[in-house]
Amino acid sequence: MQPTSNGQQLRARTFRSMGTVVSLTVVSLTVASNTYADTAVDELESAVEVVEGIFAKLDHAFSLYRRGSEASRLARGELTLADASETMRDLYAEASEWRLATEGAFTAERPDGRLDLTGIVKAHAVREAAMSLRALGLQDWCVNAGGDVLVSGSPDPATHDPWLAGILDPLDREALLGAFPLQSRKALATSGSAERGDHIWAVGGARPEFVQASVAAADIVTADVLATAIVAGGTRTLDLVAAKWGVAVLAVRPDGELLATPEFRSAA
Amino acid sequence: MRIRAALATAVASAGILLAGWQSGAHIAETGTATTTSLNSSATSGGIAAGGTNSGGGTTATGPSSAGSGSSSGSSTGSTTAATYDGASVQTRFGTVQVQVTIQSGKITEVTALQLTDAERKSAQISSRAAPVLRSEVLQAQSANVQTIGGATVTSDAYLTSLQAALDAANF
């Protein structure tokens, strides 16, 4: 993106983790003096290193593609939850609470009964990354983990404009369905019924009522879990989610019909 | 003994009253929210502005007021506004009645004349997702967004994604 007239520039770095690509974008000042620009780049390089480390560590423990991972050993029954790491137990507890709250639409158990926390671990990694970025003193940034977005501040701190996230059309991955300004709700997560690894299972094995659901919430785990729950649970869960959590939702039916809460409609 | 029991009862009652007062205040808040979002739901057809009362018979009335009419007949076209009172509709949340203002053939305003019987339930309407047209969703081009949300992409699919293009532009 071109530097804006205010001398702000977005700088992005990416890394691969959890089977997808994570992008970290920060705002840096571009002033005539190269000193500032260099400092900003260094700041970004160290920030991305920290974030990548968080993802790598969690992926190492939670990946079901890695035979020797803690999660794989749990799934095979070689390790019991009681003997698992604190992070594993905490995330399991969190996933269980979400299962209750969403009336079973979100679950960390696969149809074969095996434990699979991969549906929540990516959002957890983003949440952890956010804490580190704040600790590093960064205020204006955007983390995009394979389509799930968490932002802080503004892409242009001079104007305080909110970060604007486009939402992909599930029927045409080069087109956007629309956009959402991440203002009071800083997190936007999207789940699809045909997504990687098919980690969403429609309740009762029925054909999903939605091919995609996007949820904007104050925090990334809530957004991610509820987007997943809506795709799995259909209209019933969509109504439950909108009423119970007050999040913004944009859902797409297989025929392309859209359902949206008021926040997703244009102001006009 | 008896005094102690009476005291306990009194304290419990006070607690219930306090809880009731608090939830009452909460209902008042959500009630306000309802009006706003009922507007948008009705505009998009989420809640019908007309229909039949469960008691039988339509109660829709004709235009109840004529608008400005100031430029009627001028080259800019008619700007006459008319308001219509919708029928009282029984929804699963209770009775809802809306008033619609139509100007130049477009609905310009929808107000709730009657909200649901159960106000707690009506709060659910306010946050419900209703069908919308694509044109009603805030539009954007990939050039004016800073990031792209979507169902998880694989590392391979990322390479040809819009997000990759944005990242490359900002590298």
Pairing of strands B94-103, B106-114: antiparallel
Range among A169-183, A192-206, B113-127 with highest mean pLDDT value = A169-183
Residue with tokens 């704040």: A134
Point out the least confidently predicted range of A29-33, A152-156, A206-210, B133-137: A29-33
Based on the structure, what is the number of domains in chain B? 2
Q: A173 and B128: CB-CB below 8 Å?
A: no
- CA torsion sign for A144, A150, A153, A156 is positive
CA distance B107 to chain A (A): 13
A54 Cβ under 8 Å from any chain B Cβ: no
Same domain, B47 and B89: yes
- Which residues 104-123 in chain B show a CB within 8 A of chain A? 123
Nearest CA in chain A to B168: A12
Residue-averaged pLDDT of chain B: 58
Whether residue A3 lies within 8 A of chain B, CB to CB, comes out as: no
- pLDDT for B108 equals 65
Among A2, A10, A52, A224, most B C-beta atoms within 10 A, so best to mutate, is: A10
* A236 and chain B in contact, CB less than 8 A: no
pLDDT score of B126: 53
A53: left (phi over 0), alpha (psi -120 to 50) or beta: alpha
Read off the tokens for A138. 């960064």
Bridge partners for A259 per DSSP: A251, B131
Burial class (CB in 10 A: 0-12, 13-18, 19+), A104: middle
- Residue spans of alpha helices (H) in B58-171: 119-127, 155-158, 162-170
B21 lies within 8 A of chain A by CB: no
| Cβ-based neighbours of B116, under 8 Å, separated by 6 or more | B91, B93, B94, B95, B96, B122, B125
Beta-bridge mates of residue B91 = B94
Beta bridge partners of residue A213, listed in sequence order:
A191, A251
- Pair (B116, B144) in one structural domain: yes
Nearest to A122 by CA among A146, A97, A92, A104: A146
Q: Given phi > 0 = left and psi -120 to 50 = alpha, else beta, which region is A172?
A: beta
What confidence score (pLDDT) does residue A34 get?
A: 55
State the nearest Cα–Cα gap between B118 and chain A, in angstroms: 14
**pLDDT (tens digit per residue) in A6-35:** 567 899 999 999 999 999 999 986 554 555
**Within this chain, do residues B87 and B108 fall inside the same structural domain, yes or no?**
yes
Residues of chain B contacting residue A212, judged by C-beta atoms under 8 Å apart: 150-151
Q: What is the DSSP string of A187-225?
A: EEEEEETT-GGG----GGGPPPS-SEEEEEESSHHHHHH
Is the Cβ–Cβ distance between A190 and A157 less than 8 Å?
Answer: no
Are residue B13 and residue B67 in the same domain, yes or no? no
Same domain membership, residue B53 and residue B17: no
> Are A251 and A213 within 8 A, CB to CB?
yes
Chain B nearest CA to A216, separation (Å):
11
Indicate if B52 and B103 belong to the same structural domain: yes
Q: Does A16 touch chain B (CB under 8 A)?
A: yes
- Are B42 and B20 within one domain? no
Place of tokens 């009630």: B31
Higher-confidence position of A109 and B100:
A109
Residues B74, B155 within the same domain: yes
Indicate the residue of A164, A190, A261 with minimum beta-carbon distance to B140: A164
State in words which class domain A2-267 has. alpha beta
Q: Quick check: B167 contacting A, CB < 8 Å?
A: yes
Provide ipTM, 2 decimals.
0.87
Strand (E) or helix (H) holding B16? helix B2-43
CB neighbour list of residue A149: distance below 8 Å, 6 or more residues apart: A142, A143, A163, A165, A182, A187, A188, A189, B147, B149
3-class DSSP state of B52: strand
Q: Which of A2-6, B22-26, B88-92, B102-106 has the lowest mean pLDDT?
A: B22-26
Check whether B15 has a pLDDT greater than 80: no
CB contacts under 8 A, A 166-185 vs B, are 166-168, 170, 173-174, 176-181
- Domain ranges across chain A: 2-267
Q: What is the pLDDT of residue A36?
A: 61
Residue pLDDT, tens place only, B42-90: 333 333 333 333 333 333 444 444 333 333 333 344 467 777 777 676 6
Which residues span the domain enclosing B19? 1-30
Q: How far is A242 from chain B (nearest CA, A)?
A: 5
Kindly report, residue by residue over A173-197, the tens digit of the pLDDT. 889 999 999 999 999 999 998 644 4
Q: Output the CA torsion sign for A12, A15, A21, A24.
A: negative
Cβ density class B86-111: b for 16+ within 10 Å, e for less: bbbbbeebbbbbbbbbbbeeebeebe
Which CATH number fits the domain that encloses residue B37? 3.90.1010
Q: Which pLDDT tens digit goes with each residue over A88-114?
A: 999 999 999 999 999 999 999 888 888
Kindly state whether residues B133 and B117 are assigned to the same domain: yes
A44 touches chain B (CB under 8 A): no
pTM, to two decimals? 0.69
Are B1 and B49 within one domain? no
Q: Least CB-CB distance to A147: which of B128, B149, B167?
A: B149
In the stretch 145-164 of chain B, residues with CB closer than 8 A to chain A read: 145-155, 157-158, 161-164
Q: Does A7 touch chain B (CB under 8 A)?
A: no
Residues in chain B: 171
| B146 contacts A190? CB cut-off 8 A | no
Q: Are residues B74 and B2 in the same domain?
A: no
